[in-house]
């Protein structure tokens, strides 16, 4: 394992290294559509796409939002934007129009790439409804009163839509950018430039754009791969979303930093996962616990060969010990690792090691990656606490974000003057530096790997007529770890049913944010000072919802 200093390279330079050292190694594979590119072919595609983006007029520092599932051109766009100094802004595929509106406005996004849609959301129609000028104005000269920063909308595929550029058209425009101009743009880049922005909800209810640099995510991805003992011979099955750091950093950069092969799925499906692992003889598999459960419990499980699997990552929520045992025994993943972190930390802070025993993999989230300090502090005084004492988890190092976009006060609250990022999670560290997460100082809900902040849902539900007050808390769930519970006080004279609440949410907020459980209450448990005790609502939910699944 490398123990020298951190890499000081851009994403583009990282890819160039892989192309130079292992040009014929498989880089990107999609089993379901016979899509396969070597590192040389992938590098050529990225360079053409980058020059095409320059020909469109995309400048250094412009944001390029991508609202898409794991389609083949997603990763090419990740590196192409990085090579011209643009900032890739990842958009959650579950977003609805109101969430997309907020993101585009707050981020001042200049460029938007979309696919046709996902699940019950038509992305093309959504964008036309938000930006009706798109159908009427000349491409490249978009002027939208609602989104004054937006200049271009592109389709991440071949299908043509009015007002949008297609990928083939952008690739064809590459000839308009000279190699000299392309190389000159690349010479202006610095590893400490922002290259990636991801939106994470906050306790205020308003999502914040986390700004991550090349230096942040290149090094984090590298060490995540090192702790799985990756080499160019490894083949990693990546069914997790690329819009999360799990996909685009731990997956993509963990692989590219080792010239390993990436086997993608456009979206998660247990049969497609099993087929991809078998057909491509994958050595590693990524997923949240619910994904692993879906594979292990599938009726076709015994028909597939998992003998080539060795390692991988389980992250996003705690892993039950029985599931971990099955992953090790039945999926052959004897060196599987557990990771813990936040979007604000690029994302991994701690990781178990391939040689760690099963106890450490289920009772802890590992120890700090090289180059990162972790300490436990008193949540109120911020004073460091001794080994074995519960407190707030803080970290400092190369992985800490550059800040929240246009939110200096929120940045100052998250990262103190000494550079320590305060996670809001409660944990205990043992004498060997292994961290166990014991709770959350903040009210965040984790549903199957998705981070959900109650305040955001509360503020949305306050718009519903008849609601006097609402508190949202996590409800324990055997399948997802937690589900969303809404505890509602109804205004006098109004009548409401749980399904009314869910109907109000459908189509307006992401499906995973819709409360699965709704209870109507007269009062909330309070402290003596009048603060609502959400943990007691969580305890109450066990009695209110005995049929939890």
User: What's 144's domain CATH number?
Assistant: 3.40.50.12780
For position 433, which CATH number holds? 2.30.38.10
pLDDT over 70, % of the chain: 96
Q: Which residue has tokens 């990656």?
A: 369
The answer to whether residues 98 and 125 belong to one domain is: yes
Q: Is the pLDDT of residue 531 over 60?
A: no
The answer to whether residues 535 and 511 belong to one domain is: yes
Phi and psi (nearest 5°) for 185?
-60, -45
In this prediction, residue 442 carries a pLDDT of 63
311 DSSP β-pair partners = 284
The answer to whether residues 485 and 384 belong to one domain is: no
Q: Is position 279 within any domain?
A: no
- pLDDT tens-digit readout, 454-471: 878 988 898 899 998 888
Q: Is the pLDDT of residue 451 over 90?
A: no
Contact partners, residue 420, CB within 8 Å, separation at least 6 = 375, 377, 394, 395, 396
In this prediction, residue 445 carries a pLDDT of 86
Q: Is position 275 within any domain?
A: no
Mark which of 440, 471, 492 sits at the end of a domain: 440
Residues 123 and 100: beta-carbon distance below 8 Å: no
The answer to whether residues 435 and 453 belong to one domain is: no
The answer to whether residues 433 and 457 belong to one domain is: no
Q: Is position 498 within any domain?
A: yes
Mark which of 413, 440, 467 sits at the end of a domain: 440
Phi and psi (nearest 5°) for 312?
145, -170
The answer to whether residues 107 and 142 belong to one domain is: yes
Residues 137 and 99: beta-carbon distance below 8 Å: no
DSSP state of 247: I
Nearest alpha carbon to residue 291 among 483, 94, 91, 480: 480
Residues 357 and 325: beta-carbon distance below 8 Å: no
Distance set, CA 60 to CA 45, 110, 140, 214, 272 (Å): 20, 11, 17, 14, 38
Q: Is the pLDDT of residue 548 over 80?
A: no
Mark which of 230, 259, 288 sits at the end of a domain: 259
Q: Is position 56 within any domain?
A: yes
Q: Is position 309 within any domain?
A: no
In this prediction, residue 322 carries a pLDDT of 82
Phi and psi (nearest 5°) for 10?
-90, 170
Q: Is the pLDDT of residue 362 over 60?
A: yes
The answer to whether residues 391 and 373 belong to one domain is: yes
The answer to whether residues 540 and 416 belong to one domain is: no
In this prediction, residue 202 carries a pLDDT of 47
Q: Is position 410 within any domain?
A: yes
> Mean pLDDT over all residues of the chain?
93
Q: Is the pLDDT of residue 536 over 50?
A: yes
The answer to whether residues 194 and 121 belong to one domain is: yes
In this prediction, residue 380 carries a pLDDT of 84
- Listed in order, strand segments (DSSP E) in 443-480 are 445-447, 450-452, 467-477
In this prediction, residue 301 carries a pLDDT of 97
Confidence bin at 441 (pLDDT 50/70/90): low
Look at the chain and report how many structural domains it folds into: 3
38-70 in b/e form (b: 16+ CB < 10 A) is bbbbbbebbbbbbbbbbbbebeeebbbbbbbbb
Across the range 414-435, mean pLDDT stands at: 95
61 DSSP β-pair partners = none
In this prediction, residue 500 carries a pLDDT of 96
The answer to whether residues 125 and 160 belong to one domain is: yes
Domain region containing 124: 11-23+31-213+242-259
- pLDDT tens-digit readout, 175-216: 999 999 999 999 999 999 999 999 986 434 578 999 999 999
3-state secondary structure of 261: strand
Nearest alpha carbon to residue 450 among 191, 203, 241, 143: 241
HSE at residue 297, side-chain half, CA atoms within 13 A, is: 9
Q: Is position 94 within any domain?
A: yes
Candidate from 60-74, 225-239, 534-548 with smallest mean pLDDT: 534-548
Across the range 280-307, mean pLDDT stands at: 94
Residues 475 and 457: beta-carbon distance below 8 Å: no
Across the range 98-123, mean pLDDT stands at: 96
pTM of the model: 0.85
pLDDT over 90, % of the chain: 80
Q: Is the pLDDT of residue 532 over 80?
A: no
End-to-end CA distance of the chain: 43
Candidate from 122-136, 198-212, 332-346, 527-541 with smallest mean pLDDT: 527-541
In this prediction, residue 72 carries a pLDDT of 94
In this prediction, residue 459 carries a pLDDT of 80
For position 501, which CATH number holds? 3.30.300.30
The answer to whether residues 415 and 454 belong to one domain is: no
Confidence bin at 527 (pLDDT 50/70/90): low
Q: Is the pLDDT of residue 503 over 90?
A: yes
Q: Is position 326 within any domain?
A: no
The answer to whether residues 350 and 457 belong to one domain is: no
């Amino acid at each position: 394992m490398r123990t020298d200093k951190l890499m000081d390279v851009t994403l583009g330079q990282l890819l160039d290294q892989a192309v130079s050292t292992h040009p014929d190694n498989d880089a990107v594979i999609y089993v379901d559509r016979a899509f396969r590119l070597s590192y040389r072919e992938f590098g050529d595609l990225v360079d053409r796409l980058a020059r095409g983006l320059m020909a469109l007029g995309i400048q250094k520092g412009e944001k390029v939002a991508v609202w898409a599932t794991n389609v083949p051109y997603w990763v090419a766009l990740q590196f192409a934007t990085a090579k011209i100094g643009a900032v890739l802004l990842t958009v959650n595929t579950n977003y609805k129009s109101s969430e997309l509106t907020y993101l585009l406005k707050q981020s001042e996004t200049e460029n938007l790439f979309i696919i046709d849609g996902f699940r019950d959301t038509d992305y093309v129609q959504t964008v036309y409804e938000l930006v009706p000028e798109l159908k009427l104005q000349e491409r490249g000269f978009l002027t939208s009163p609602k989104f004054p920063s937006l200049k271009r909308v592109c389709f991440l595929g071949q299908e043509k839509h009015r007002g949008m550029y297609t990928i083939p058209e952008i690739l064809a425009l590459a000839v308009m950018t000279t190699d000299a101009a392309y190389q000159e743009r690349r010479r202006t880049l610095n590893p400490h430039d922002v290259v990636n922005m991801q939106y994470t909800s906050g306790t205020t209810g308003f999502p914040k754009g986390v700004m991550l640099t090349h230096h942040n995510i290149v090094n984090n991805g590298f060490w995540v791969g090192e702790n799985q003992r990756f080499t160019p011979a490894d083949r990693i099955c990546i069914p997790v979303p690329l819009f999360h750091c799990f996909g685009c950093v731990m997956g993509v950069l963990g692989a590219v930093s080792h010239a390993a092969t990436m086997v993608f799925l456009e979206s998660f499906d247990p049969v497609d996962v099993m087929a991809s692992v078998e057909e491509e003889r994958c050595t590693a598999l990524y997923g949240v616990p619910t994904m692993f459960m879906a594979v292990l419990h599938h009726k076709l499980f015994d028909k597939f060969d998992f003998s080539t699997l060795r390692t991988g990552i389980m992250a996003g929520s705690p892993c039950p010990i029985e599931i971990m045992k099955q992953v090790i025994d039945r999926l052959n993943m004897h060196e599987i690792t557990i990771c813990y972190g936040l979007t604000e930390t690029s994302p991994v802070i701690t990781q178990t090691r391939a040689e760690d025993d099963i106890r450490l993999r289920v009772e802890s989230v590992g120890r700090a990656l090289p180059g990162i300090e972790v300490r436990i502090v008193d949540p109120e005084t911020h004073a460091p606490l001794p080994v074995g004492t519960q407190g707030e988890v803080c970290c400092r190092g190369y992985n800490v974000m550059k800040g929240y976009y246009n939110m200096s006060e929120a940045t100052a609250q998250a990262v103190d003057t000494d550079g320590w990022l305060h996670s809001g999670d409660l944990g205990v560290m043992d004498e060997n530096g292994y961290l166990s997460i014991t709770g959350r100082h903040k009210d965040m809900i984790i549903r199957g790997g998705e981070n959900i902040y109650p305040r955001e849902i509360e503020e949305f539900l306050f718009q519903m007529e008849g609601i006097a007050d609402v508190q949202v808390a996590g409800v324990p769930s055997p399948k997802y770890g937690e589900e969303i519970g809404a505890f509602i006080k109804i205004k006098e004279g109004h009548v409401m049913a749980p399904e009314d609440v869910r109907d109000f949410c459908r189509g307006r907020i992401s499906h995973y944010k819709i409360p699965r459980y709704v209870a109507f209450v007269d009062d909330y448990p309070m402290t003596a000072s009048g603060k609502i005790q959400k943990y007691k609502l969580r305890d109450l939910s066990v009695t209110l919802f005995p049929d939890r699944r």
